A and B are shown apart, each in its own frame.
Chain A
Amino acid sequence: MKKRQMYFRMITASLMRRRSRMLVALLSIAIGATVLSGLVTIYYDVPRQMGAQFRNYGANMIFTAKDEKFTLADVQQGVSLIDADAVVGVAPYRYENVRIHESPVVVAGTDINGAQKTSPYWHIEGEWPSADGQILVGASLAENFRLRIGETLEVSYTPSEAQEGQETILDNILEFEITGILDTGGSEEDYLYISLADLEALTEESGSIDIAELSISGGADELSAYADTISNSVSAVNARLVKRVTASETTVLSKLQALVLLVTVVVLALTMICVATTMTAVVTERRKEIGLRKAIGASDSSIIKEFLGESMLLGGLGGILGSVLGFVFAQQVSIHVFSSTISFMPALVPITILVSILVTGLSSLMPIRSATEVDPALVLKGE
């Protein structure tokens, strides 16, 4: 039998037949590798996952008119310049003065679906409008005019010019069904909301857009770049970041990432030291065996090679275990905290295994060295 064969036979026998002792050591190493793999995965994933949470704050970019108003086509042109995956929602708004119950109010025409995405914090009692002919009423208006869900609301619009064949200016009147009441704690509660199509029907003009709100995922730098591109490319539109949302997001998100990083560093450092002390104990336990091997003729380098081999094998096994468990942990975190899954990072597996082997090996080296320096006679003769 070749020497190498015997070598492997020995180190595997050590791990297999001393199962209970090795299992505990393996567990320690596996925990270290799990911490490494799991926390690093989370660290890389936190910006994306948390970032999505920040979209709850609503629109982070707005389009305003450079001179006069701009059109829906301009909005769409602007949106096309943004990476499709990054666009969470787009809501163009057109405001007109109308009257309800003989009193002047402002109505906003918008893309209802878009508004739901750009204003996720809008609290609707009832339902969003889902079809033409439905209206969303701000809470202040609802209270002042005692409007209820399910009622019909008449909205009248006074055109600027008389229509052909008429002498006086007659109002356009449309009836809407109130589907919901909007509660935000902000100025939105003072408006009525209908679809853009309904507004065009009411005013009998396809007008233009006063302002467009966009919710885009990305960091402040990316968003700035988009804003500049759009402002330069679409002549009628000025794209600006909503500072309140983007500045705050950058601040808080970067702090959260720093938190996860530091926590990872602290936990990792302490866990690795734990692994090192475990390995030290594992080796120290076997001083007698080392003395025996020396007595039957093992050289120091031979002993170092054997025990180091064992440690590194253990480290490799622990590393594999840890990569798997770490991913499972990170996945559980992602599901329970963010209700989404993370994609597997294949590069992390070899790194985890390598680090595991390195730490286990290096931390065994010193106790092995010191054990080989002991006189075998002393070890064998007594305690």
Chain B
Amino acid sequence: MFFRMIKGTLLRQWKKMLMIAFTIALGASLAAAMLSVMFDVGDKVNQELKTYGANITVVPKASSVLNELYEVEGGESTGAYLREDELGKIKTIFWAFNIVDYAPFVNVSGELDDGSEVRVVGSWFNHHMSLPTGEELDAGIAGLRSWWEIESGEWLDEQADENAEIAMIGTALAKKLNLSVGNTLHVKGSAGDKNFRIVGIFDAGGEEDDQIFAPLNPVQALANLDGCIDSIEVSALTTPDNELAERAAKDPSSLTVSQYEIWYCTAYASSICYQIQEVITDSVASPVRQVADSEGAILEKTQLLMILITILSLIGAALGICNLVTASVMERSSEIGLMKAIGAQNGAISGLVLTEIFITAIFGGLIGFFAGFGFAQIIGHTVFGSSIAMTPVVIPIVAILVILVTLAGSIPAIRMLLRLRPAEVLHGGH
């Protein structure tokens, strides 16, 4: 009988029920959309901030400071180097997935035909890596120097031939030597010389505009540095630092065992640096503060902003649903009065009405949830060009919100109606 009555209401009064379902769907979609965006915006903005380039540098432990100075005076580099064959290990650390891009650097001083000194930098441009995890990655400065404007020619493509003697040169150097794309540049190093064919001229807006960039192998050959790397730049998705991270950065052994685990298992810049040092022999990895600290601040603020906006939307959604649920219960006042008049118990009546409302709420909530997720995707694709990841916790939050608000909207109204005398309800006086 109970189910017959429910079925009866739902079928006969389907228009009214549809209205309730629609409102709940609206509220649920607003909640789902905002929550999904809120949970994912951190990752999205983090990705965007990678345009600033590497936030971690790795240098040999024994590297002398005086490298810079000696370059200026044309001397030779000192002996401490990182090993080129260890480069792949960076993608094996605990936080390998967060390593978005990286590139090795070899700095060699070369002499041009006119006798002038020039800095030649060997690096990866778009070095392809197929990892055992199945991930495919193109690593190199094509990603790490996103702000370079290619004035003529194009980015060097090392996938064509790793050993090709091709190079990109900075705009200042190109102007000074009156070179353009297709010309050959003869460079003499301490252990040999090369004729680099220019494939692209870039404007970096910095000192790199006076330099030559070429693939690793030819540059290493110039100074008999096969297999040697001066430094590695890494671009990683990191979690902004907090007190724990700062303490650990100074000295990881000062943490307790559980603190250590938390730190190691959170993608702080300091823990990623620590893990890189574990796999690259004799290295020192440190965060590039200019990038790492700033992106932390921006990330935090963006997330906080989204949280506050989401809270406002949730309040709005809750009020909207609550209001309409109450109104629809009130509309059924005569029906409730009738049931009471023919002798139904309060509990039975409440149960009936609540069940009907809940069936409608579940229906509306489900539709709303998917609609909301759809809205989130529209936002994600329009702003960031990628999908918003589904954070599982959104589902229970939206569900609880809908349930709580529906209860809050219906119970007081039902109780109020049950307290009225049936005659009042049946005969208006309304």
Contact = CB atoms under 8 A, between A and B. Distances in A.
A121 B293 contact: yes
Contact of B53 (A141, A185, A244, A275): A244
B97 interface: no
A185 B147 contact: no
A241 B301 CA distance: 26
Contacts of A383: 334
Given A24-B319, A337-B308, 16 more contacts: A28-B323, A57-B291, A190-B69, A243-B203, A244-B53, A244-B204, A247-B51, A251-B51, A252-B298, A256-B45, A259-B379, A259-B384, A266-B375, A270-B313, A282-B327, A336-B304
B57 A186 contact: yes
B287 to A, nearest CB: 5
Given A271-B30, A278-B323, A186 B304 contact: no
B230 to A, nearest CB: 12
B45 A243 contact: no
Contacts of A275: 320
B108 to A, nearest CB: 17
Interface string A227-270: 00000000000001111111110011001101110110011001
Contacts of B26: 270, 273-274, 277
A44 B265 CA distance: 39
Given A244-B205, A255-B383, A262-B382, A27 B293 contact: no
A267 B313 contact: yes
A125 B304 CA distance: 29
Interface in B378-398: 378-379, 382-384
A248 B51 contact: yes
A161 B319 CA distance: 82
Query: Considering the complex of A and B, which 6 residue pairs feature the smallest CB-CB distances, nearest first?
Result: A243-B205, A274-B320, A247-B147, A56-B294, A281-B327, A185-B288
Interface stretch (A30-38, A76-84, A148-156, A307-315): A30-38
B294 A285 contact: no
B298 to A, nearest CB: 5
Nearest to A245: B52
A187 B69 CA distance: 11
Interface residues of A, number: 78
Contacts of B361: none
Contacts of B309: 39, 42, 260, 263, 267, 333
A271 B320 contact: yes
B289 A183 contact: yes
B151 interface: no
B244 interface: no
A319 interface: no
Contacts of B109: none
Nearest to B67: A190
Nearest to B64: A144
Contacts, number: 215
Contacts of B316: 31-32, 34-35, 267, 271, 274
A266 B309 CA distance: 12
B86 interface: no
B264 to A, nearest CB: 20
B383 A247 contact: no
A105 B52 contact: no
A77 B246 CA distance: 42
Nearest to A123: B289
B260 to A, nearest CB: 22
A193 interface: no
A79 to B, nearest CB: 20
B45 A252 contact: yes
Nearest to B296: A56
Interface in B282-331: 286-294, 297-298, 301-302, 304-306, 308-309, 312-313, 315-317, 319-320, 322-324, 326-328, 330-331
Contacts of A263: 34, 37, 306, 309, 379
Contacts of A256: 45, 302
B147 to A, nearest CB: 4
30 contacts: A24-B319, A35-B316, A42-B305, A42-B309, A46-B305, A54-B298, A56-B297, A57-B290, A57-B291, A57-B294, A123-B289, A184-B289, A241-B205, A243-B206, A244-B204, A244-B206, A247-B147, A248-B49, A251-B48, A260-B305, A267-B34, A277-B23, A277-B320, A280-B19, A281-B327, A282-B327, A333-B308, A333-B309, A337-B304, A337-B308
B301 A141 contact: no
Contact of A252 (B51, B293, B313): B51
Given A186-B288, A243-B148, A277-B320, A56 B205 contact: no
B319 A121 contact: no
B324 A277 contact: yes
B114 interface: no
A157 B319 CA distance: 74
A222 B302 CA distance: 24
Contacts of B326: 24
A163 B30 CA distance: 79
B331 A285 contact: yes
A260 B308 CA distance: 12
B33 interface: yes
A104 interface: yes
